[in-house]
Amino acid sequence: MEDKKLHVKFMRIAIKLAEKNVLNASGGPFGAVVVKEGKIIAKSANKVTTTNDPTAHAEVSAIRLACKKLKTFDLSGCVIYTSCEPCPMCLGAIYWAHLDKIYFANTKKDAADIDFDDQFIYEEIDLPMEKRKLPTIPLLRDEALKAFRMWQESGMKIEY
């Protein structure tokens, strides 16, 4: 049986990270906490504006810290608590990191209501490349396939 008090505790930490980020003008109003076996492995607020890194969302930053601490790219057995429903990039990172579960507070609609609207990304993903707003042009596929063949045949690859 899951311990609701612990879930609430970890979510409140994520929310406090978001609030502190706003108060300190350190980035967007987002916080995330990665937990394993009831213990905090990593936590981060959004760092986009302080690091000039558009990928430094709270979830991605917390995942990076957790991977570094645990010395692995596979966070199976971990859970993430995030102050807002993850954007498409963060959701992708959460899946790639193999986290077991996502708990979130604010919804993507709540984020859209304060001008953090990712709906256009969801819509763009569904469009064929030639209809996307950002020109997406295939180039040198035949040359690039060599690296894929090398990977497929390599006895030294580490699958992820």
Active site residues: 59
Cα-flanking dihedrals φ and ψ of residue 43, to 5°?
Answer: -150, 150
Instruction: Name which of 90, 112, 113, 111 is nearest 102 in CA terms.
Output: 90
Q: How far is the C-alpha of 86 from the C-alpha of 82, rounded, in Å?
A: 7
Q: How far is the C-alpha of 62 from the C-alpha of 81, rounded, in Å?
A: 10
Q: How far is the C-alpha of 51 from the C-alpha of 55, rounded, in Å?
A: 10
Burial string for 82-101 (b: 16+ CB within 10 Å, else e) reads bbbbbbeebeebbeebebee
Q: How far is the C-alpha of 77 from the C-alpha of 98, rounded, in Å?
A: 8
Question: CB of 37 within 8 A of CB of 77?
Answer: yes
Q: How many residues are there in the chain?
A: 160
Q: Which residue has the tokens 């690091």?
A: 51
